[in-house]
Chains A and B, each alone.
Chain A
Amino acid sequence: MLSFLPKRLLQLVPTLFLVSVLIFGLQQLLPGDPALVMAGEEKDPAVIEQIRARYRLDQPLPMQYLHWIGGVLRGDLGESMRIQQPVADLIVEKLPVTLQLATMAMAFALLIGLPAGVLSAVRKGSAWDVGANVFALWGLSTPNFWLGIMLIFLFSVQLGWLPASGFVSPFEDLGQSLATTVMPAFVLGNAIAAVLMRHMRSAMLQAMSADYVRTARAKGLVERTVVLRHALRNALTPVITLGALEFGTLLSGAVLTEQVFSIPGFGKLIVDAVFNRDYAVVQGVVLVTATVYILLNLLADVLYVLVNPRLRS
Chain B
Amino acid sequence: MSTPADPLPAGGVVDAGDPPWRVALRTLLARRTAVFGAVVLALVALLAVLAPWVAPYDPLATSWAAVRKAPSAAHWFGTDEVGRDLLSRTIWGARASLSAGVIAVSIAVGLGVPIGMLAGYVGGWVDAVIGRLVDAMLAVPFLILAIALAAFLGPSLGNAMIAIGITATPIFVRLARGQVLAARAEDWVEAARAVGNPPVRILLRHILPNILPPIMVQATLAIAAAIIAEASLSFLGLGQQPPAPSWGSMLNTAQRFLTQAPWMAIFPGLAIFLTVLAFNLFGDGLRDALDPRK
Contacts and interface: CB of A to CB of B under 8 A. Distances in A.
B33 to A, nearest CB: 9
Contacts of B255: 149, 260
A31 B151 CA distance: 11
Contacts of A23: 140, 148
Given A137-B277, A274-B238, A14 B258 contact: no
A253 B152 CA distance: 20
A270 B251 contact: no
B280 A140 contact: yes
A22 B142 contact: no
Given A143-B273, A146-B251, A293-B141, A282 B280 contact: no
Q: Interface residues of A: mostly helix, strand, loop or mixed?
A: helix
A22 B251 contact: no
A15 B140 CA distance: 11
Contacts of A146: 251, 265, 268-269, 272-273
Contacts of A30: 152
A241 interface: no
Interface residues of B, number: 43
A18 B132 contact: yes
B138 to A, nearest CB: 9
A26 to B, nearest CB: 5
Interface string A244-279: 000011011101100110000000001100110000
A137 B40 CA distance: 15
Interface string B176-214: 000000000000000000000000000000000000000
Interface stretch (B19-27, B109-117, B229-237): B229-237
Interface of A: 14-16, 18-19, 21-23, 26-27, 29-31, 137-138, 140-143, 145-146, 149-150, 152-153, 157, 248-249, 251-253, 255-256, 259-260, 270-271, 274-275, 282, 285-286, 289-290, 293-294, 297
Interface of B: 132-133, 135-137, 139-145, 147-149, 151-154, 224, 228, 231-232, 235-238, 251, 254-255, 258-259, 262, 265-266, 268-269, 272-273, 276-277, 280-281
